[in-house]
Amino acid sequence: MSKSEMQSVRGVHINGQWLDGMGSPLSLIDPVSGQPYATVSTADVTMLDDAVRAASAALPGWRSTPAAARGRLLERMARLIEAAGSPLVQLQMQCSGKPQAEAELDVADVVATFDYYATCCMQQALFSQEVQLPDPAFAASVQLLPVGVVGLIVPWNFPMVTSSWKLAPALAAGCTVVLKPSELTPLAEISLLKLLQEAGLPEGVVNLVCGGGETGAALAGHPGIAKLSFTGSNKTGQAVMHSAADRMARVSLELGGKSALVVLDDADLPQAVALAVAGAYFNAGQMCSATSRILVQQSLYPAFLDAMQQAVRAIQVGGPDDASTGMGPLISHAQQQRVVGFIHRGVAEGGRLLCDGRLQAESRPGCFVGPTLFIDLPGDSLLWREEIFGPVACIRSFRDDAEAIRLTNDSDYGLVATVVGSDAARSRQLAEQLDVGMVWLGTPQLIFPQTAWGGFKRSGIGRELGPWGLRSFQEVRHIVCNSAT
């Protein structure tokens, strides 16, 4: 889709048909230039009702489809995504301003997720199994059944990726879906749904309703939705949970993070700096797993500061069309202003700027903020404690492993952490005392579909990916009988 012409896109898909939405259209903004490049039609309340009814009507047929057949469809989907890899990469770059390498990782992640859940559909134990009882006079079995019609509300920072993390297991489980993309990046989900159609998905199994926050709120509160899976901010996640509570709907919430990267005194310095840069500035820091609190042991702290500053200043900020770009723009002017406001606040709270990303915001069009690096922030600073969702990292030192654990766990969030050190046993011992859902030991932030994703405390409820992601879309039914029957 060319940026030189305004595109008009249908953003409503109900029961196998693409429709002109009756709601207020969305204007999509190119984060590199700051200019509009497309309009997308949206669903009104009536169309949302129609989408839920279509999913409800399709549910009996889809949940009775053998799991192996559902898996074959997911495998076809993975191959179609592979075949469409180049245009999908370009679409990710267009929607988000991502550098090409980041967009390529996104598409590969989508393929891996559909492939993984295709293989899950071939494992009978994930859908039913016998239960061993202590009394030989009785026999029991457990069935893992689709929860029903599910509402999926996905964010803008990893369009298509987060959707695949929800869509693939929901379809594998036998659920039908109403998907609400972010109002900032809906073209990714529109393309994904077109590929699902091409893969042979029956009509009504997945329905799509583009729109703003009011559309998401209406979906969250719809009485026809049995389960809501939401990824986004804590504030919106709380609203989703309140709405679901009124009718006891099931929820999965993947929310914020304020994660730590711990650099031990025996760490390899170049490796530690590389992991710190990637953890803080990948996707322009717009990720819930950003390790924006960097903790460095005192003896290594001076050398780390020098090397980190050099690495951060070497990051090339620009659009995806420039091959030298190492970090792209933020998603919107609103996000840009929010992040710049955080930087102002950090200075006011006594932090010392080593690298100031505000210069990028002031000197070029679009939604840019450069990589920003703070030291000397007090422990109660908002920048140290709250998610910024932008390229802002804060560094402080620690004395010993006990203090590193205390500082890491001194957070309202508990999504991820990274530990960098040469002593594998020491690193693992430290990792096992961190209150987070995922710890990387000396590795980049690799996320495999076989491993669970989610966190402790305010970072959310439930898990995505792995068999846990499938279970989140299943209900449990046991059957107990006389062993003779």
Residues marked active site are found at 254, 288
d(C-alpha 34, C-alpha 284), whole Å:
16
Question: Who contacts 158 (Cβ-Cβ below 8 Å, separation ≥6)?
Answer: 106, 283, 287
d(C-alpha 338, C-alpha 320), whole Å:
23
d(C-alpha 109, C-alpha 100), whole Å:
14
d(C-alpha 145, C-alpha 60), whole Å:
12
d(C-alpha 259, C-alpha 250), whole Å:
27
Asked if residues 1 and 88 have their Cβ atoms less than 8 Å apart, the reply is no
Question: Who contacts 301 (Cβ-Cβ below 8 Å, separation ≥6)?
Answer: 397
Question: Who contacts 194 (Cβ-Cβ below 8 Å, separation ≥6)?
Answer: none
HSE at residue 338, side-chain half, CA atoms within 13 A, is 13
d(C-alpha 374, C-alpha 396), whole Å:
9
Q: How many CB atoms within 10 Å of residue 16?
A: 15
Please give the sequence-ordered ranges of beta strands (E in DSSP) within 315-405, or none if there are none: 352-355, 372-375, 392-398
Q: Considering only CA atoms, which of 425, 475, 415 is closest in space to residue 256?
A: 415
| Pairing label, strands 438-441, 26-29 | unpaired
Instruction: Give DSSP secondary structure letters for 34-103.
Output: --EEEEE----HHHHHHHHHHHHHHHHHHHTS-HHHHHHHHHHHHHHHHHTHHHHHHHHHHHH---HHHH
Q: Where are the alpha helices (DSSP H) in 349-434?
A: 358-363, 382-385, 401-409, 424-431
C-alpha distances (whole Å) from 233 to each of 131, 230, 242, 252, 286 are 40, 9, 14, 13, 12
